[in-house]
Amino acid sequence: MPMTDPSADQLAVAADLLALLHDTGTEPRADPQLEALTLAVAADLPVLLWGEPGIGKTAALAQLAEALDLPLTTVIASVHEPSDFSGLPVVGDDPAAQGVPMAPPDWAVRLVRAGRGLLFLDELSTAPPAVQAALLRLVLERRVGALRLPPGVRIVAAANPRSSAADGWELSAPLANRFVHLQWAHDHDVVVRGLGGTWPRATLPRLDPAALAPAVAYARRAVCGLLAARPRLVHQLPGSDARRGGPWPSPRSWDMTLRLVAFATAAGTSRDVLSMLVRGTVGDGPGLELLASLDRMDLPDPETLLADPAAATLPERGDLRQAVLDGVVEAVRSRPEKARWDAAWAVLARALDTGAPDLVVVPASTLAALRRVDWDVPDLIERLAGAVALSQRADRAGARVAAAVTG
């Protein structure tokens, strides 16, 4: 009778325990960084996740591939040669007539055969400059040797900051400018619940078919409007190598930004997610300027407010409300007429009824200075004057308290 190997039994029990540990589920959960990643993947833009080692970048990509039903192909960029991405020359029967084709690696062939997949380029910041140069064509043109990756393949990379990367290199400016850069950080609640067996579920954004054309028009108007007013933002190559390895504005990255704004608009994405994507494409400064211009695009037209002050709907946010009131006053300044002047006072009165009175101080003072001699003073001015005087007294009192404290 054959004897049973006790070690084999223990390995089988260990395998059962490992299976239980790997048996985890997912749940719908708000996760802005995961939502930003899936939206950029849906927009078919290369994404680069920046984060410290061990915070779950690789696990997030594996879960994303599973959720999107995409086969995951992982390539550790730092352990490959440049020829692994540009292709190895293969000499045929008559190279003088047929040339020398560049043979692609096996992982690229598998992706082409599958027709779809998620290509994960890991450890990008530890890839030497020669390998980074070879990756340029892969990331931008989706070409590996003589093969072109099919449209169904998405590219996501991951990198550690140079301070925490083993033998790390700064990312080259041309390669960095081809990615949407997302800062990846662990969320305490997500980690705790995930270790308990339930992780957030990655889902592609739900695009509204009826919103596609308006979303494209909105994105083009936003980006083109900003660059027309701020032409120096079109291309700004950073001065330091460290900043060149991150997001910075160029015609290429603005084109990526336009695409992201269109996708975010069609999907009804939150402002936090859009902010992550925009700043991760053109950098913090230009990205924040674009977000501010998007706010202004959503503001009501001053002429509409002057035409019907009683129906005026003013923004709740103080900075946006101030911008609207200033715009109304500027509209009267550009075409000063008695009816328009009276309508502007009505708008200010509505602002006084529905918001903080201090926001009315500056536009009311400016509007009063536009009065012509033969224009009657509206009854509304007395109400506004009282609010203005109260606000000014509060400001003076606050200044006296501050002076006493510092003195």
Structure confidence by residue, pLDDT tens digits, 310-342: 888 888 888 888 888 988 999 999 999 999 999
**Long-range interactions of 20-27: CB distance < 8 A, separation 24+:** 23/197, 24/194, 24/197, 24/198, 24/199, 25/197, 25/198, 25/199, 26/63, 26/67, 26/198, 26/199, 26/200, 26/201, 27/198, 27/199, 27/200, 27/201
How many other C-beta atoms are found inside a 10 Å radius of the C-beta of residue 347?
26
Residue 231 and residue 193 share a domain: no
Position 29 scores a pLDDT of: 78
Q: Looking at the domain assignment, is residue 96 inside a domain?
A: no
Q: Looking at the domain assignment, is residue 109 inside a domain?
A: yes
- Using the 3D structure, point to which of 297, 314, 338 is the last residue of a domain: 297
- pLDDT of 264 > 80? The answer is yes
Position 234 scores a pLDDT of: 95
Structure tokens, 249 = 């504005």
Residue 50 and residue 157 share a domain: yes
Categorize the per-residue pLDDT at 390 as very low, low, confident or very high, splitting at 50, 70 and 90. Answer: low
Residue 112 and residue 217 share a domain: no
As a whole-number percent, the residues of the chain with pLDDT over 90 amount to 39
Find the range with the poorest average confidence among 51-55, 217-221, 307-311.
51-55
Report the C-alpha gap between 118 and 74 in whole angstroms: 8
As a whole-number percent, the residues of the chain with pLDDT over 70 amount to 86
Categorize the per-residue pLDDT at 284 as very low, low, confident or very high, splitting at 50, 70 and 90. Answer: very high
Residue 244 and residue 315 share a domain: no
Position 322 scores a pLDDT of: 87
Structure tokens, 255 = 């084109």
Residue 156 and residue 138 share a domain: yes
Position 89 scores a pLDDT of: 67
Residue 274 and residue 183 share a domain: no
Residues 6+ apart with CB under 8 A from 312: 300, 305, 347, 350
Q: Looking at the domain assignment, is residue 157 inside a domain?
A: yes
Which is nearest to 295 in space by CA: 363, 359, 222, 207? 222
Report the C-alpha gap between 164 and 166 in whole angstroms: 7
Find the range with the poorest average confidence among 35-44, 242-251, 272-281, 356-365.
356-365
Query: Could you tell me how many residues make up the chain?
Result: 407
CATH number at residue 107: 3.40.50.300
- Using the 3D structure, point to which of 297, 317, 343 is the last residue of a domain: 297
123-141 pLDDT per residue, tens: 888 888 888 888 988 998 8
Categorize the per-residue pLDDT at 375 as very low, low, confident or very high, splitting at 50, 70 and 90. Answer: confident
Maximum pairwise Cα distance, the chain:
118
pTM for this predicted structure? 0.76
Residue 307 and residue 289 share a domain: no
Residues 6+ apart with CB under 8 A from 259: 43, 45, 219
Q: Looking at the domain assignment, is residue 19 inside a domain?
A: no
Residue 124 and residue 46 share a domain: yes
Q: Identify the sign of the CA torsion 134, 137, 142, 148.
A: negative
Q: Looking at the domain assignment, is residue 10 inside a domain?
A: no
What domain range is 43 assigned to? 29-88+103-200
Structure tokens, 40 = 């950029």
- pLDDT of 3 > 60? The answer is no
Average pLDDT, the chain: 85
Bigger pLDDT: 52 vs 115: 115
Residue 142 and residue 213 share a domain: no
Residue 388 and residue 255 share a domain: no
Residue 156 and residue 68 share a domain: yes
Position 320 scores a pLDDT of: 83
Q: Looking at the domain assignment, is residue 354 inside a domain?
A: yes
Position 31 scores a pLDDT of: 84
Structure tokens, 286 = 């230009």
Q: Looking at the domain assignment, is residue 9 inside a domain?
A: no
Segment 24-32 mean pLDDT? 81
- Using the 3D structure, point to which of 297, 332, 350 is the last residue of a domain: 297
Position 69 scores a pLDDT of: 87
- pLDDT of 407 > 80? The answer is no
Q: Contact 362/326 with Cβ under 8 angstroms?
A: yes
Number of domains in the chain: 3
- pLDDT of 275 > 90? The answer is yes
Segment 370-375 mean pLDDT? 88
The angle that helices 251-267 and 271-282 make with each other, rounded to 10 degrees, is 170
208-246 pLDDT per residue, tens: 999 999 999 999 999 998 998 889 999 999 988 888 999
94-105 pLDDT per residue, tens: 665 556 667 788
Q: Looking at the domain assignment, is residue 20 inside a domain?
A: no
Residue 72 and residue 185 share a domain: yes
